[in-house]
Amino acid sequence: MVDLRVDDQTVRENSIGRAAKRVTSFIASLVLTFLGLTAITFLISRLTKIDPVLAIVGDKASQAVYDKTYAVLGLDKPLIIQYGAYLKKLLSGDFGVSVLTSQPVLSDLIHVFPATFELATVATIIGVLIGVPAGVLAAARNGRWQDHVVRVLCLFGYSIPVFWLGLVGLFVFYGKLGWVSGTGRLDIGYDDIVTTRTGILLIDAAIDGEWEIFRNAFSHLILPAGILAYFSLAYVARMTRSFMIDQLGQEYVIAARIKGRSFWGAVWVHAFPNVMVPLITVIGLSYASLLEGAVLTETVFAWPGLGQYITRALFNSDMNAVLGGTILVGTVFIGINLFCDFLYKVFDPRLRGP
């Protein structure tokens, strides 16, 4: 038999030890995955058909100049050493210079990131506010019409191409109904009025008290954010539904009902808190995937964010900018992914061990 008489002190020490181990393993997987990501972007930059030497010296340079530049760039060294140099540059924040904007890629990224951040955040907020109650409702009304409606909505969310929904949304709500503004973040004429503090227009406009600009920015934001929110909603509602169905089948829910708790009381007060931990993970994952999904949406809505930056760079063979953007999206994506995984392990009592 296991000795159950463990004093508080030992328990506390054990749990501190475990927490430390968990944090270390979280950081280790973060570092490893980041190394993997940079190794891949490095290989991509070597795979590309654009000759980095030719891009510098031009095609009229003599062979001697070409060879010298080749050596200066370190292209004659073994791949692993080149990768080391590449990593060192990345870590010092040097992503190279964008051919398109002639600015350092890092400062470009800092400039465009807030637009994507604003879009994805508003979309996630809408998605969670609708998706969680919808999922709970579907689970509570399992098998009835409410459940079927939610399930069909989720299924469509998994099947509709986001760029297409964006176009159709633009056609219906902007072209036909005129309820929202068209592409871009602001109407022409509103640009550069508010001072850029956070880069998030809604917040900047609110700080300056420019409510007309706030309204304008909102009417530009709501359609792309709403469309992205639908995809987040589909995922969040589907997962909430399946977590809640699990919980509502448990005996403690019946016990609460027998003790006189109302049906919705049992659902929200007893069952719902138990799904919150896995739900946080799901929301985090959907947030990460929205940052990615924003790439296509931004192209449709001419939203001046990260996605549009990457795709524009792509068509101008601006590999520094493409890879810089990929690393940024990748790092945020990996970070959120692993952090959710970590949170799950920390908060789920079953994974805490004895």
Partner 1 sequence: MSDVSISLKQWLLSDAPASPRQAFLGNVFRATRTVVKNPSALAGLVIVLLLIVIAIVAPFLDRGISPIAQDLSNRLHVPDAAHWFGTDELGRDIYSRTLYGARVTLTIVALVSVVVAPIGLAVGTMAGYLGGWVDALLMRITDIFLAFPRLVLALAFAAALGPGIENAVIAISLTAWPAYARIARAETVTIARSDFISAVIMQGASTTRILIKHVVPLCLSSVIVRLTLDMAGIILTAAGLGFLGLGAQPPTPEWGAMVSAGREVILDQWWVATIPGIAIFIVSLGFNLLGDGLRDVFDPKSV
Q: Is 29 in the site for partner 1 (CB under 8 A)?
A: yes
With CA atoms as reference, report the closest residue to 224 among 177, 307, 165.
165
Closest approach, Cβ 36 to partner 1, in A, equals 4
Q: Is 40 in the site for partner 1 (CB under 8 A)?
A: yes
Q: Is 201 in the site for partner 1 (CB under 8 A)?
A: no
On the 0-12 / 13-18 / 19+ scale of CB atoms within 10 A, 222 is: middle
**Residue 219 contacts by C-beta under 8 Å, 6 or more apart in sequence?**
180, 181
Nearer to partner 1, 94 or 341 (CB): 341
Strands (DSSP E) contained in the chain are: none
On the 0-12 / 13-18 / 19+ scale of CB atoms within 10 A, 39 is: middle
Closest approach, Cβ 231 to partner 1, in A, equals 10
With CA atoms as reference, report the closest residue to 119 among 319, 295, 329.
295
Q: Is 343 in the site for partner 1 (CB under 8 A)?
A: no
Whether residue 130 contacts residue 233, with contact meaning beta carbons closer than 8 Å, is answered with yes
For the chain, the helix, strand and coil percentages under 3-state DSSP, each to the nearest 5:
75, 0, 25
In the shown chain, the binding pattern of residues 298 to 337 toward partner 1, with x for contact by CB under 8 A and - for none, equals -xx---------xx--xx---x--xx-xx--xx--xx--x
Q: Which range in 14-22, 31-39, 100-108, 260-268 contacts partner 1 by CB under 8 A?
A: 31-39
Distance of alpha carbon 202 from alpha carbon 217, whole angstroms:
7
Q: Is 234 in the site for partner 1 (CB under 8 A)?
A: no
Q: Which of 115, 126, 239, 295 binds partner 1 (CB under 8 A)?
A: 295
Angle between helices 201-208 and 211-248 (to 10 degrees): 130
In the shown chain, the binding pattern of residues 153 to 192 toward partner 1, with x for contact by CB under 8 A and - for none, equals --xx-xxxxxxx--xx-xx--xx-----------------
Distance of alpha carbon 311 from alpha carbon 307, whole angstroms:
6
Amino acid at 300: V
Token couple for 294: 């924003």
Q: Is 75 in the site for partner 1 (CB under 8 A)?
A: no
Token couple for 328: 């940024």
Q: Which range in 36-44, 115-123, 220-228, 267-275 contacts partner 1 by CB under 8 A?
A: 36-44
Q: Is 149 in the site for partner 1 (CB under 8 A)?
A: no
Q: Which of 288, 290, 304, 309 binds partner 1 (CB under 8 A)?
A: 288
Q: Is 71 in the site for partner 1 (CB under 8 A)?
A: no
Nearer to partner 1, 127 or 307 (CB): 307
Q: Is 239 in the site for partner 1 (CB under 8 A)?
A: no
Q: Is 25 in the site for partner 1 (CB under 8 A)?
A: no
194: Cα within 13 Å, side-chain hemisphere? 24
Give the footprint of partner 1 on this chain (CB under 8 A).
29, 32-33, 36-37, 40-41, 44-45, 47-49, 155-156, 158-164, 167-168, 170-171, 174-175, 288-289, 291-293, 295-296, 299-300, 310-311, 314-315, 319, 322-323, 325-326, 329-330, 333-334, 337-338
